[in-house]
């Protein structure tokens, strides 16, 4: 109990009554058991998604309310992608992810959600044809990259930025083939792009060609046009 008491003193804002049980489970885990769980998650994802050849990953905030114009934008994006033959893959949660999955179903597309175990967000949204749940972020990321032919990134927070820069890093380092990375929403993304150009590029931290690894658009139609031109459904 001493460990739990110390943790409560250090982080009272995120301790819950269930933390005792969770701590015991974590302490009981071993490295071999963690590796086994990672293996099972990878095998599960590969088996479930093996028939997905025309997926497009759509990222965006879980906190986008249904009455927000960004929700309507994500829904239109999912619908347009579905209408031209792409499966839509999201994080499976609420907000912009829900909207994109909802639009995908409206467009007649396969709607896929790769959910993640989190203590502070609700589970999968109700617009999924194929829901898959992951414990580890990295195994989930493998599925996004392996089964997506493009990334379309709507306004979002840390998780959205994480997926964006993960993709750009993998493309930059040639760990994966280059594929379209489309940012949607000029008002939201322009300041970040300015910072990348004026600070990161200007100080030599990235190369000029790195600024060409993504494209900025301001509508769902423009995003789908880019994706379809670069990698139309097979």
Average pLDDT over residues 86-113: 98
Instruction: Please report how the helices 137-147 and 31-49 are oriented relative to each other, as an axis angle in degrees rounded to 10.
Output: 20
Please give the share of the chain, as a percent, with pLDDT higher than 70: 86
Identify the H or E element spanning 170.
helix 158-172
Check the CA dihedral 71-85-110-184 and report its sign. Answer: negative
Residues 6+ apart with CB under 8 A from 4: 15, 19, 20, 23
C-alpha–C-alpha distance, residues 111 and 90, integer Å: 8
pLDDT digits (tens, 9 = 90+) for 49-92: 999 999 999 999 999 999 999 999 999 999 999 999 999 999 99
Question: Domain 40-231 belongs to what topology?
Answer: Rossmann fold (3.40.50)
Q: ∠ CA 188-190-191 to the nearest 5 degrees? A: 90
pLDDT of residue 231: 86
Q: pTM score, two decimals? A: 0.86
Q: CA–CA separation, 95 vs 59, rounded Å? A: 10
What pLDDT score was predicted for residue 5?
34
- What is the C-alpha to C-alpha distance for residues 216 and 204, in angstroms, rounded to an integer? 22
Residue 18's pLDDT band (cuts 50, 70, 90): very low
> Mean pLDDT across the stretch 25-37?
80
Domain ranges of the chain: 40-231
How many secondary structure helices (H) and strands (E) does the chain include? Answer: 9, 7
pLDDT digits (tens, 9 = 90+) for 173-212: 999 999 999 999 999 999 999 999 999 999 999 999 999 9
Q: How many CB atoms lie within 10 A of CB 220?
A: 23
- Would you state the pLDDT for residue 119? 75
Give me the DSSP letters along 65-115.
Answer: -TTSHHHHHHHHHHHHHHHTT-EEEE---STHHHHHHHHHHHTT--EEEEE
């Amino acid at each position: 109990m001493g460990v739990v008491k110390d943790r409560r003193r250090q982080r009272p804002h995120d301790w819950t009554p269930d933390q005792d049980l969770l701590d015991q489970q974590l302490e009981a885990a071993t490295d071999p058991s963690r590796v086994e769980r990672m293996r099972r998650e990878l095998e599960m994802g590969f088996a479930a998604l093996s028939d997905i050849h025309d997926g497009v990953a759509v990222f965006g905030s879980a906190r986008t309310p249904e009455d927000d114009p960004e929700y309507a934008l994500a829904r239109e994006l999912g619908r347009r992608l579905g209408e031209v033959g792409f499966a839509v893959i999201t994080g499976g949660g609420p907000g912009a992810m829900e909207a994109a999955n909802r639009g995908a179903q409206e467009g007649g597309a396969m709607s896929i959600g790769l959910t993640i175990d989190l203590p502070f967000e609700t589970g999968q949204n109700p617009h999924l044809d194929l829901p898959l749940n992951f414990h580890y972020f990295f195994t989930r990321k493998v599925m996004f990259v392996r089964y997506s032919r493009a990334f379309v990134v709507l306004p979002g927070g840390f998780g959205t930025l994480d997926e964006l820069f993960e993709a750009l890093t993998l493309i930059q380092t040639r760990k994966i083939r280059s594929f379209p990375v489309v940012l949607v929403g000029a008002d939201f993304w322009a300041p970040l792009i300015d910072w990348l150009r004026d600070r990161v590029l200007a100080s030599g931290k990235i190369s000029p060609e790195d600024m060409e690894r993504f494209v900025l658009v301001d509508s769902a139609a423009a995003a789908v046009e880019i994706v379809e031109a670069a990698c139309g459904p097979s």
